[in-house]
Amino acid sequence: MRFATGSAAHGPLTWSQQYYLAEVEAARPHGRSLALKRLYELRPGTTEQDVTAVLATLLERHEALRSTVVPAADPEDALQRVHPEGRLDLLVRDVPEGVLRSAASQLLQELAAPVFDLAREWPVRAALVRAGGGPRLLALAFSHLAVDAFALRPVTEHLVAACAVADPVAYPATRSDHPGRGLLEQAALERSAGAARALRRAARVCAAMPPAPPDDPRDAPAGSFRFLSHRSAALDLATGAVALHSGESVATVLTAAMLTVDALMAGSTTGYVQLIAANRTRPELARAVQPCSQPVPCCVDVTDASFHDLVRRTAAATLGAFRFGSFPPAGLDRARAAAERDRGVRLDTSVTLNYRPRADPLPLRAVTGDELRRAAADRETAWTDGEYVWRATRCLSIDAGAGGLRLLLQVDTARHPRQWAERWTAAFERLLCAAARADVPAGRLSRVVRPGAVRRRLPVPK
C-alpha cells in the first residue's frame, strides 16, 4: 500500500516523544516493543482495496504515522524525519471462520511483538484477516513513539467513518473544531514556549521528596522485572465509597493511597509518585495524533493527617502537577541531580502511577462493613507475565471502569523482593477498605498499613 503527500519535513522530537524514546530503548534489551495494539471489525462488504485506501489516507493525514527517528549520541538531540511518501506493507492472512477471533488476536500479538526499528520502519504495522471469502478484521500495532492511547481515538474515528464497526465500549474522540496539531508544530512550540515554570515546580518536588532506599536503581545492574496482578471486589467498593465521601475523583483517591502506603512502608514523612499525564487539555491537542503523555512529579506530606486529609492534599498536589504541564525529560533529570547534590542523598524519581479510566466509570456509593467483609472473598492476586516494561523501580498501572479496578504492579525485584510487593498490594487494599468505613486518623495510618508481614508466598510464573 503506497501513500504520498508531496511534503517532507524534519525537526526535533516533542517532549513526550523524548520520554517514550527513552522508555522504548530501555525496554529493547527485555525484548519488549511497547506497542499499542488494536483490532477493528470491518463492516460487511469492505474490500481489501477499501482497507488499503483508508490506511493510505490515515498516513497522509497524520505525520506521526510516517515519521522515522534520526538518532543522536545524546537522546535529547535526536531528530525525526516526516516522509512525504512511502509504502506500508499490509500482511494478509486467511483463517477458518470458526477461529476468526482467536487467530486474529494471535496475529496481532505476532505483529506487535518485534521491537520497532524506529530509524528504518514506520511506527505502525498492519494486517488484514480474511475469513469466509472476504476481509473481516484489521489488526494495527503502533509504536508508543507515534501515539498514546488518547491519540488512537481520532484514528479509530477515521476507521469507523470509512470501514470499521464502532466499538461500543471505546472512548469517543474528544469533540473539537480543531483538526489536531501536527507533530513538528508541537515540537517547535514547546521550544519557543519553554518549560521554566514546570521545571521550577519539579525542582521543588525533588527538594521535598523522600530519599531513595540504599538499593537505588542506579547503583545496581538491571533487575528482574515481575508483575503482580490484583483484582478485588472489596477494593472496588472501598475506592468508590472514599471517592464519594471525599468529593474527589477515583484517580485522586488511588493516588493518595499509593503515596500513603509508599511513605509509611518506608518510614518517610513524604510520599512521591510520577503521574502519567495525558496533557490534552487544549483543543489543538485533544484530537492530535501524536503522543502527549509524559510523567509529572508529585509529592505529598503525609504527616499529621488522616487519610481523607491526604486525599485532599493529593488533589491539590496533582492539580499543581498537571497545571504546569509538559517539560523536557532531560530537564527533570537535571533537577533531580541538582537536588541530590544539594541534599546529599540519592533520589528515585522513577516510581510511577498510570491510571487508565475506561468508558464506564467505577460506581460511587456508600458501603457498610458487612458488604466489604462479604466482598473480601471475591479477589485474585497472582504473579503474571506483563506486556510492558517501564524504567521504574515500581510502576502501578490501574485500569478502572464499571467492572471494577484491575491493578498491575511492576516491580524490579533487584530492588524490592516479591514478598515486599505482596505486602504493598495488601496494604493498599487494607488502607482503602479501612477508609471506606470511617476516616483513618493520623495516629492509626501506620498501624493500618503495616500490621505485620504477609505469611504466604504466591507462585511466580517461570
Q: Euclidean distance between the first and final Cα of the chain, in Å?
A: 41
Residue 446 confidence (pLDDT): 94
Mean pLDDT of 291-311: 96
Of the ranges 72-76, 292-296, 348-352, which one carries the lowest mean pLDDT score?
Answer: 72-76
| pLDDT greater than 50 at residue 198 | yes
Q: Determine whether 93 is exposed, middle or buried from the number of CB atoms within 10 Å of its CB (0-12, 13-18, 19+).
A: middle
| pLDDT greater than 60 at residue 205 | yes
Q: Tell which phi-psi region holds residue 252, choosing left (phi > 0), alpha (psi between -120 and 50) or beta.
A: alpha
| pLDDT greater than 80 at residue 215 | no
Which of 22-31, 239-248, 379-388 is modeled with the greatest confidence? Answer: 239-248
Confidence band of 455 (pLDDT split at 50, 70, 90): very low
Beta carbons within 8 Å of 157's beta carbon, 6+ residues apart = 172, 173
Cite the beta strand spans of 180-289 per DSSP E.
225-232, 270-277
Beta carbons within 8 Å of 248's beta carbon, 6+ residues apart = 311, 312, 314, 315
Nearest alpha carbon to residue 372 among 309, 306, 435, 456: 435
Backbone angles phi, psi at 352, to 5 degrees: -130, 145
CA distance 21 to 207: 27
Residue 231 confidence (pLDDT): 97
CA distance 11 to 80: 6
Confidence band of 454 (pLDDT split at 50, 70, 90): very low
Residue 192 confidence (pLDDT): 84
CA distance 366 to 64: 45
| pLDDT greater than 60 at residue 216 | no
Beta carbons within 8 Å of 444's beta carbon, 6+ residues apart = none
Residue 254 confidence (pLDDT): 98
Of the ranges 214-228, 383-397, 431-445, which one carries the lowest mean pLDDT score?
Answer: 214-228
Sign of CA dihedral 213, 216, 221, 224: positive
CA distance 125 to 68: 14
Mean pLDDT of 238-250: 97
Mean pLDDT of 31-58: 95
Confidence band of 462 (pLDDT split at 50, 70, 90): low
| pLDDT greater than 70 at residue 459 | no
What are the residue ranges of helices labelled H in 359-400? 369-375
Nearest alpha carbon to residue 182 among 294, 292, 278: 292
Mean pLDDT of 99-126: 96
Sign of CA dihedral 262, 264, 268, 269: positive
Confidence band of 171 (pLDDT split at 50, 70, 90): low
Q: How many CA atoms lie within 13 A of 434 on its CB side?
A: 22
Mean pLDDT of 123-133: 96
| pLDDT greater than 90 at residue 74 | no
325 and 218 Cβ atoms separated by less than 8 Å: no
The residues with which 164 forms a beta bridge, in sequence order, are 42
Question: What is the residue-averaged pLDDT of the chain?
Answer: 92
What would the pLDDT profile of 313-352 be if each residue is shown by its tens digit?
A: 999 999 989 988 789 999 999 999 999 999 999 999 999 9
What would the pLDDT profile of 19-35 be if each residue is shown by its tens digit?
A: 999 999 999 998 899 99
Q: To which residue does cell 471486589 refer?
A: 233
CA distance 297 to 275: 6
Residue 133 confidence (pLDDT): 87
What are the residue ranges of helices labelled H in 267-349? 283-286, 307-324, 329-343
Q: Which grid coordinates are listed for 428?
A: 493498599
Residue 456 confidence (pLDDT): 52
CA distance 289 to 185: 12
